[in-house]
Structure 1
Amino acid sequence: MSVLLVGASGQVGGAFLTVFRQAYPSVPLTLFLRTHALDNGIASLGNTTVVHGDFENDLSVLEKLASEHSIVIDAAASRFLDVNEAILRGVEAYKEKNGRNAIYIHLSGAGNFIDRAKDGVFKETNKALDLPFIDTNPEQVKKIDASMPPNGAADEVIIRAAEDGKVNAYILCPVGIYGASENHIGLLAGAEGAPFAKTLGVWVGWMVGNIVDKGYSPYIGPGTSEFVSIHVDDVVDAMMKVYARATQDSEQQKYGKGSVLNEFYLLADKRWPNKQIAELFAEAVVRLGKLKGDGERVEARSVTFEEAGTTAGYLGGNTLIEPKNAKKLGWKPRGPGLAETLKTMKA
């Protein structure tokens, strides 16, 4: 058994790496990584190999690496179809060479299941889009495709490959991830690695960037539409539980062509009205030193969808999901809440 981890410098992958190594010290671990800043920290974990590359120029390298490992864990490429296609070519080659399926654990995202509303009003369902999405419903999982941005295209090819018997695939689908983990590999890599441990992550980074561009914290209409969040350490915990399940399924030969439809894991904690999220971020951007506000905050302002900027899709719509599968593995969110985390963030 050997593991290839993609995305070890990121908010989730960097924390997963150290937690995984603590739990499985003897499993050979290869990291596909753009930066050199974490190399010393990674070496300190033992039994690790770093291969440097990126998604722009080195997909053939990634494909070859995937063909050489029995388990591939992707924590970086939920939105990148070409990266996932390269990994899938690699795991298919692994099967041809070894006569058995590789395991592919893929970190996706719940942006697929926002109802695309533009009015900022809370809604419980969207029948046209077949929402809420329930992860224990295999028919809904089967329908995921490229029409469900930003992650649907990659999810679709993974699901199809698993249905065709080419790979044992497990897809984890977290909502908006926040927080900096104390387990991040950057904390073991000195001054050069420390900034990676403080990364804002994708969702928080997008929110902060949009507020900086606008000069205020927007919400749409009344701001009663709801978004859902999850702490990074809770995502890592779920990944560890899914890893244990995947390896057990492989050892016991329990994974079949239709299994992927039952191995889709929504990860979510608390629901938040978008107006309240806007108010929390209005304070956070000042504490982070990104903007100077009136006192300790910038303005949280009601605007139209067209005025809301790059995060309008999150602010206007509702995340309509019912997460159930991860709970069957004994998972439950335990991390600090979104409000607590944003109120303690600083530059």
Structure 2
Amino acid sequence: MPSILLIGVTGLIGSHLVLALKEKHPELPVTVLVRNKTIDTYLSETAAVKRIVHGSFDEKDKIVALAKEHDIVINVGSSWDVPLSESIVEGLKQQPEGKKRTLIHMSGTGNFVDKRWVDGATHAEAKVWDDNNPEDMKLINPTMLNGGPDTVVLNHGKDGKTGTYIIYPSGVYGEAAGPIPAHGVIQFVYREKAKELGFVPYIGEGTAVFNSLHIKAVIPFVLQVLDLALKDATPQGSVYERCFLIGGTETKYKDIAEAFAEVLYNEGVIASPVAKSVDRKGAGEGELPMLMSSDMRFVSNRAKKLGYKNEEVSLVEYLRSKKSTK
């Protein structure tokens, strides 16, 4: 019976995924790597985790050993930690020759931003990425937002010994399912930027397009990819044909900024509920200004063939239904 190593169990995606694994595949023994030592009872009793290993992402030897011991590694812990992915891959390489092994890696669509324009406006000529086009996926490289770990995973899978699958969700939002509070990265970066600037910014006219996705739409697709990996005796297609882009609603950054401004004002994080237009320099540093500057456009043709669908509320609807993003 295949064993699963789940990395990132206390994050937004991991907190939901560990419960979904219990529900969908109770027969598969799950090991988790977790730093927090206060939730062992929850993990063993509520989430039915078979084995709990305490440790951090920078403990290379521990991660190598765990990856070596498990048939399936699911990394939803970090989409930008290159050493973490390298440690996982090193462990998988040490498994016996001919043994079926699988790596499911959670990345992000922050890779697919058209940086030819950085004025915060939408552009009809912006590239539309297609997960069903291997030539598009071959463009993934370490200079992209999440491209470092992606490249490690893609290169590892090319010899066909490990079935590698990369899932690219758009900006994920929502709330954790477990006892440890966690929200999506898009919620985190907007909150931190508002605290830095004293207001919620958008760049220029704010018509550049962002794609975002509720956590509830992510988990079913992860299980679909897992089922695909379990079904296939050997990896099917090239590594680029095992990349899946999944997204939700396309929204203008101005609309997103206005919704965040209302929420963060109600929380007392900022003094005004009004979002402000700034130039690129005025938005400061970090990944959020980079994202807000340009369009993010893609289609999920391959993911849809596998059964992906999204029926969840948009980011703006979600924010306006909440009193707090803490």
Paired position in structure 2 for 1:305: 280
Letter of the 1:108 counterpart = S
Deviation sequence 1:135-167 (CA, Å, 0-9, x none)? 11112212211122x111111121111112231
Report matched runs for 1:198-237 at 5 Å: 198-237=181-220
Q: Does the CA contact (< 8 Å) of 1:124 and 1:320 recur in 2?
A: no
**In the aligned structure 2, how far is the partner of 1:286 from the partner of 1:48?**
43
Paired position in structure 2 for 1:315: 292
**In the aligned structure 1, how far is the partner of 2:125 from the partner of 2:224?**
30
**Paired residue secondary structure (2:231):** helix
Deviation sequence 1:282-319 (CA, Å, 0-9, x none)? 012123443343xxx2x211100001123211111110
**Shift in alpha-carbon separation, 1:62–1:125, aligned structure 2, 3 A:** farther
Q: Does the CA contact (< 8 Å) of 2:10 and 2:182 recur in 1?
A: no
Q: Note if 1:87 corresponds to 2:73.
A: no
Letter of the 2:291 counterpart = Y
**Shift in alpha-carbon separation, 1:236–1:24, aligned structure 2, 3 A:** same
Q: Does the CA contact (< 8 Å) of 1:120 and 1:220 recur in 2?
A: yes
**In the aligned structure 1, how far is the partner of 2:270 from the partner of 2:60?**
38
Paired position in structure 2 for 1:336: 313
**In the aligned structure 2, how far is the partner of 1:287 from the partner of 1:53?**
37
Paired position in structure 2 for 1:161: 156
Runs of 5+ unmatched residues, structure 2: none
Letter of the 2:306 counterpart = L
Letter of the 2:87 counterpart = A
**Shift in alpha-carbon separation, 1:287–1:20, aligned structure 2, 3 A:** farther
TM-score w.r.t. the length of structure 1 is 0.88
**In the aligned structure 1, how far is the partner of 2:30 from the partner of 2:260?**
37
Paired position in structure 2 for 1:135: 131
**Paired residue secondary structure (2:94):** helix
Count residues in correspondence: 319
**In the aligned structure 2, how far is the partner of 1:136 from the partner of 1:46?**
36
Q: Note if 1:65 corresponds to 2:40.
A: no
Letter of the 2:249 counterpart = K
| CA positional deviation for 1:229 | 0.4
- What is the CA RMSD across the aligned residues, in angstroms? 1.5
Deviation sequence 1:92-127 (CA, Å, 0-9, x none)? 112xx252231100000011111123201101334x
Paired position in structure 1 for 2:41: 40
Q: Does the CA contact (< 8 Å) of 2:64 and 2:88 recur in 1?
A: yes
TM-score w.r.t. the length of structure 2 is 0.94
Q: Note if 1:245 corresponds to 2:247.
A: no
Report matched runs for 1:169-180 at 5 Å: 169-180=164-175
Paired position in structure 1 for 2:248: 269
**Paired residue secondary structure (2:77):** coil
**Shift in alpha-carbon separation, 1:18–1:320, aligned structure 2, 3 A:** same
**In the aligned structure 2, how far is the partner of 1:124 from the partner of 1:238?**
30
| CA positional deviation for 1:47 | 4.9
Larger displacement relative to structure 2 (304-313 or 5-14): 304-313
Paired position in structure 1 for 2:105: 106
**In the aligned structure 2, how far is the partner of 1:287 from the partner of 1:232?**
24
Paired position in structure 2 for 1:259: 238
Percent identity reads 32
Report matched runs for 1:186-205 at 5 Å: 186=178, 193=179, 196=180, 198-205=181-188
Paired position in structure 1 for 2:125: 125
Q: Does the CA contact (< 8 Å) of 2:174 and 2:215 recur in 1?
A: yes
| CA positional deviation for 1:36 | 1.5
**In the aligned structure 2, how far is the partner of 1:259 from the partner of 1:105?**
15
**In the aligned structure 2, how far is the partner of 1:125 from the partner of 1:160?**
31
Q: Note if 1:3 corresponds to 2:4.
A: yes
Runs of 5+ unmatched residues, structure 1: 187-192
Q: Does the CA contact (< 8 Å) of 1:91 and 1:101 recur in 2?
A: no
**In the aligned structure 2, how far is the partner of 1:89 from the partner of 1:101?**
15
